Amino acid sequence: MLRVLVTRPEPGASRTARRLEEMGFQPLVLPLTETMALPVDAGALPDKAAAVAITSANAVRHASKELIAALCSLPCHAVGKRTAEAARKAGFLSVSEGPGDAEALAESMASAFSGKAVVYLCGRVRFPAFEQKLETAGVQLHAAETYDTLAVCYSDEALLQRLSDQTVDVVLLYSAKAAAAMQAVASRPMLLGSFEKTLFFALSSRIAAALDDSAGKAIRIAERPDEEALLALLPARP
């Protein structure tokens, strides 16, 4: 049975593990990052914001009730299905589901909100292209950082316990931070044998670039930056 390593943070890691089991694979859960809520002063938001933009479900999950209450009546533009679901669950009344790509979402919002204020619920660690595109289009973007992403460190003993001292067939990479951490994990002397023939599947080329391929790692990139496309890289049910 193909052994697939899931590196995303919880609670998403366990959700992905269940999907992998249903698909006939053996999941190995090793979150390489974790998220932590950050305080946001709802009173510091712009008075006349025209909309809310969200490119990560974590940004909604970590937002305080006070922040959601201050924003929930505004039109919410979510990057994709999972983020839109999180926004509706949190209490946003009008949610538009985007194409699944942050830059494409920025393009779709640019003309409609030029000259207007938009609140961007986001993480402290994020890719700048979304903000750059909207600001270039004249959108007054206000970033409200609701969470931070931190690397998770494991001892050699903990890694051996989680990986069961066996080979890993596929690693799923969801962020550049996790890809860099994966590089460090795979380089540990006592784990070199576990990753000799591993395939690395990344959500985007930016994430793949964070994994040093100088050692000849086999890296594949999803057609779209979402989990459906990432899991589609796996072979058919064994």
- C-alpha closest to that of 81 among 91, 89, 73: 89
* All structural domains of the chain with their residue ranges: 3-32+153-231, 36-150
Please check whether the two domains, 3-32+153-231 and 36-150, share a CATH topology. yes
**Given phi > 0 = left and psi -120 to 50 = alpha, else beta, which region is 91?**
left
Query: In which element (H, E) is residue 205 found?
Result: helix 205-209
pLDDT in tens, 171-180: 999 999 999 9
DSSP 200-233: EEESSHHHHHTS--TT--EEEE-SSSSHHHHHTT
**What's phi and psi for 198, nearest 5 deg?**
-75, 140
Average pLDDT over residues 189-216: 84
What is the value of pTM for the model shown?
0.84
pLDDT given at position 206: 87
What is the band of 127 on the pLDDT scale with cuts at 50, 70, 90?
Answer: confident
What is the band of 196 on the pLDDT scale with cuts at 50, 70, 90?
Answer: confident
3-32+153-231 is classed CATH 3.90.550.10:
no
Which CATH fold topology does 36-150 show?
Answer: Rossmann fold (3.40.50)
Q: Which residues pair with 148 in a beta bridge?
A: 36
Rounded to whole angstroms, how far apart are CA atoms 198 and 22?
22
pLDDT given at position 100: 85
DSSP structure class, residue 218: E
What is the band of 216 on the pLDDT scale with cuts at 50, 70, 90?
Answer: low
pLDDT at 123 over 90: yes
